[in-house]
Amino acid sequence: MLKELSSYANQLREELLVFMDEHIYPNESVFEEQLNEQGNRWAIPPIVEELKQKAKQQGLWNLFLPDTVHGSGLSNYEYSFLCEIMGRSLMAPEIFNCNAPDTGNMEVLVKYGTEEQKKQWLEPLLEGKIRSVFSMTEPDVASSDATNIQSSIVRDGDEYVINAKKWWSTGALDPRCKVAIVMGKTDPNAEPHKQQSMILIPFDALGVTVKRHLPVFGYDHAPHGHAEVHYDNVRVPASNMLLGEGRGFEIAQGRLGPGRIHHCMRAIGAAERALTLLINRANSREAFHSKLVDKDTIRTEIAESRIEIEQARLLTLQAAHKIDQEGAKAARKDIAMIKIAVPRVSINVIDRAIEVFGGAGVSDDFPLAAHFANARTLRIVDGPDKVHLRDIAKLELREQL
């Protein structure tokens, strides 16, 4: 049984739905036109800042943070309903300052940052003036096992010296990117989960180099993008360390729990939009002397999609509620289950919509192809399926045996 939303959460949900209809969907094509016409795909289309100001003025801003000092004060469960709505458009999360990796980085700074770190980096992130990077994954090791990470963070007097080769650093190509959270080893001889630390690195620091852009299924995701970034003998003040040496896994656990809820709810939003597009297309197209929507095969696809979406949503809301009640550690199995189930559902539903659209479905005329690529990538983001399946089985056996 679904928990009833507060009147405040319901109000935000209604306002968000209206904003999406009035400002987001109509401006998706404007965003693409401005991006393509400006000559530099890594410059920010004017429509982005224009819509961000509208969202901020309407109070639809930093909705993901559960405290009333920095955010809306919504629980993970309540925010999930809003996150799903944002997920219907790939451009929407940034407009509300609810986009990855900035949300996770802001959560880290709220939970673990010093007052000085918050003043320097959290405040401009909350205002939407800058963007950030989370550098964890490495090209030379299997980073699904974070104990493999080889980046080094070495203390030298009042500074730390960082050497790291990272990739899939989302946001590294954005001209507004000003800071990175980098994970690396401070003590290779400590027990495995105490070797890693996280540290703040100004993105303009000497030794920080964006080596190359990394497209996803051919999509450049400009003007944000993903990149391989090298940190060569980068020096930062010792005060840039987050929480303390050896606390990297602790921070990661606090960051990834809510983040996976966000990813999954956005994927459900993408599936909902795909189903709506499927139905509208089927109702407007005729083949072999009748509308597509009247054919049994299409109706079966619609029914299967609705069933899968509802299952995925309920499972994700259950995980969000458990995080709220018991914390991310207690919800570990629930989080792993949604990380498996939701991308599969999203891929299935979007694929059915693509099939109904035919050639148009894989074109850039409609958002289906981009959403499909995004959903498939989600099976790797924050840990691949096989890792989560292993964890689910391990936790299930521990409970049963």
Q: Could you tell me the domains of the chain? A: 7-113 (1.10.540.10), 131-242 (2.40.110.10), 249-400 (1.20.140.10)
Give the pLDDT confidence of 371-392 residue by residue, as tens digits.
999 999 999 998 899 999 999 9
d(CA 193, CA 166): 20
Beta strands in 193-271 (DSSP E): 196-202, 208-213, 226-237
Give the pLDDT confidence of 90-115 residue by residue, as tens digits.
999 999 999 999 999 999 999 999 99
Written as six digits, the tokens of 112 are 């673990």
Q: What's the residue count for the chain?
A: 401
Instruction: Count the neighbouring beta carbons within 10 Å of the beta carbon of residue 389.
Output: 14
**pLDDT category of residue 257 using cuts at 50, 70 and 90:** confident
Give the pLDDT confidence of 263-288 residue by residue, as tens digits.
999 999 999 999 999 999 999 999 99
**pLDDT category of residue 298 using cuts at 50, 70 and 90:** very high
For the chain, the average pLDDT equals 96
Beta strands in 129-207 (DSSP E): 131-135, 152-156, 159-170, 177-185, 196-202
Nearest CA to 373 among 217, 161, 145? Answer: 217
Percent of the chain with pLDDT over 70: 100
**Amino acid, single-letter form, for residue 183:** M
Written as six digits, the tokens of 141 are 């090791």
In the chain, how many H helices and how many E strands?
13, 9
Comparing 63-72, 86-95, 166-175, 218-227, which segment has the lowest mean pLDDT? 63-72
With both helix axes pointing from N to C terminus, report the angle between 28-37 and 46-57 in degrees, rounded to the nearest 10.
140
pLDDT of 24 > 90? The answer is yes
Provide the β-strand partners of residue 74.
none
pLDDT at 258: 87
d(CA 248, CA 245): 8
